[in-house]
Amino acid sequence: MSRVTVSPNKDGLLQAGKPWFYLADTVWSVFSNASIEEWAQYLDYRRMQNFNALQISMLPILHDASNTYVGLAPFHLGDNGKWNFSHINDEFFDKAETMVAMACDKGFVPVLVVLWNNYVPGTWANKKASDSTMPKDAVKPYTEYVARRFSKYNPMYFISGDSKFETAEIIEYFDISLRALKEIEPHALTAMHPTSNFHQLDDKFIQSSDLDLYIYQSGHHLQEQHMTYGLAEAFSEKSVKRPIINSEPCYEGHGHGNQYGRFDEFDLRRAFWSSVLSGAKAGFTYGAHGIWSWHKKGAEFNNEGFSKIPFDWSASLTLRGAWDVGYSKWIFEQYKLFDLNPRQDLIDSPYPDIRTAASEDLNTIVIYTPYANDVQLHIELSEYQVVMINLQDRHIIIPELSYDENGTKVAMTQMNVDTLLIATRL
């Protein structure tokens, strides 16, 4: 598996020197919760669906988890009956390495979270799992162990997991890990995985030459789904330019964040195109509620109030949204949309959820409309080939266009579906 690199213009990714769109699935807990046989089945299915990366936590997630652990622990027990973070359990990482090797053999790029925030003192998640706090002096040797062990697989790394960076000590923990990893893997791509609706990275990380990507979590609150594009815009305004990825949108099947109801395939399509057309065009991450925690029917789950009970992992593997985001990646690559940039100024609409992007020369214009509506463009499309895609059913629509002194009006389609309009200059 060749290494992923940052494009010269700092807004995309390359693999083997060619543009590469990152489409990851969220499998945080597989090292601790999945069997090798289950993993093999999973890899075959997701590869078929056009995924090319997998986000995995090196260590078990303790504060938000399904009780489906397979018995191995990453550290041996100390005399106090708790994990001794200075005594790594090689057997746990033997299994993890086997799983990473299997993923690479199938063509996936492993994306490894080094230090989930529940291991860092003072974080919001550590307060729920304080018995498993990693001492500061264990962070560097642990990170070095991970980097040396997995470097042969050319992974990408998320240094933090689900973090708010609340205190100076928390920032120091992740800074120690970032610097330790880069000393061993200077060419590996790194990012900080933040909590929901968060973009206020400490300036130490913004200015660091060791940080390569911006990633964000638009999250699992129903009322915050506008952050799919809001956070893309916020990271686009940072003083140092980096590729941007929505690495944790709403999970399909996940509850509406302390509310009744669950996200479905439409919400994932909307998250994909709202993110990608708003500046987060380096890639996108999908998640299924039941896969990320590797849930099994009847198992305990310790975050039901916020998330609702997950589906069995084998059921969540087949949810429709994974096919939809795989299809969306195919559209992105087939139409070579790597050079698009946000252009909300091209449309006249009171609805910011309608997202627009275009190439610099305006040879390609793309509009995502989550709900059927007329769209007025400040540009005439008479010299363009215009196609509309019904994303729900994957049908091609020839849109109804009319022209006047104001530009082009795209008439509302007579279907209650989300659509993607692609205009290419003839």
pLDDT at res. 128: 86
pLDDT at res. 67: 87
Q: What distance in Å separates the CA atoms of residue 147 and residue 8, rounded to the nearest whole number?
A: 25
pLDDT in tens, 368-424: 999 999 999 999 999 999 999 999 999 999 999 999 999 999 999 999 999 999 999
Q: If pLDDT is split at 50, 70 and 90, which confidence band does 71 have?
A: confident
Residue type at 90? D
Nearest to 92 by CA among 76, 110, 113, 68: 76
In sequence order, the 6+-apart residues with CB closer than 8 A to the CB of 171 are 165, 202, 204, 205
> Domain 4-339, what architecture?
Alpha-Beta Barrel (3.20)
Secondary element (H or E) of residue 424: strand 419-425
pLDDT at res. 70: 84
pLDDT in tens, 73-108: 999 999 898 999 999 999 999 999 999 999 999 999
Domain ranges of the chain: 4-339, 343-425
Q: What distance in Å separates the CA atoms of residue 218 and residue 23, rounded to the nearest whole number?
A: 16
* Cβ-count burial 106-127 (b if 16+ within 10 Å, e if not): bebbbbbbbbbbbbbebbebbe
Nearest to 4 by CA among 160, 157, 136, 118: 157
Mean of the pLDDT values across residues 233-238? 98
* Cβ-count burial 303-325 (b if 16+ within 10 Å, e if not): beeebbbbbbbbebbebebbbbb
Q: What distance in Å separates the CA atoms of residue 101 and residue 153, rounded to the nearest whole number?
A: 7
Is the pLDDT assigned to residue 5 strictly greater than 90?
A: yes
pLDDT at res. 332: 99
Handedness of CA 49, 246, 29, 52 (dihedral sign): positive
Nearest to 33 by CA among 63, 60, 1: 60
pLDDT at res. 130: 84
Contact 193, 113 (CB under 8 A): yes
Is the pLDDT assigned to residue 339 strictly greater than 90?
A: yes
In sequence order, the 6+-apart residues with CB closer than 8 A to the CB of 54 are 24, 25, 27, 46, 103, 108, 109, 110, 111
Q: What distance in Å separates the CA atoms of residue 142 and residue 126, rounded to the nearest whole number?
A: 18
- pTM listed for this prediction: 0.97
Q: Which of 51-55, 177-181, 193-197 has the lowest mean pLDDT?
A: 193-197
Contact 407, 377 (CB under 8 A): yes
pLDDT at res. 284: 99
Q: What distance in Å separates the CA atoms of residue 229 and residue 239, rounded to the nearest whole number?
A: 19
Q: What distance in Å separates the CA atoms of residue 46 and residue 24, rounded to the nearest whole number?
A: 10
pLDDT at res. 372: 98
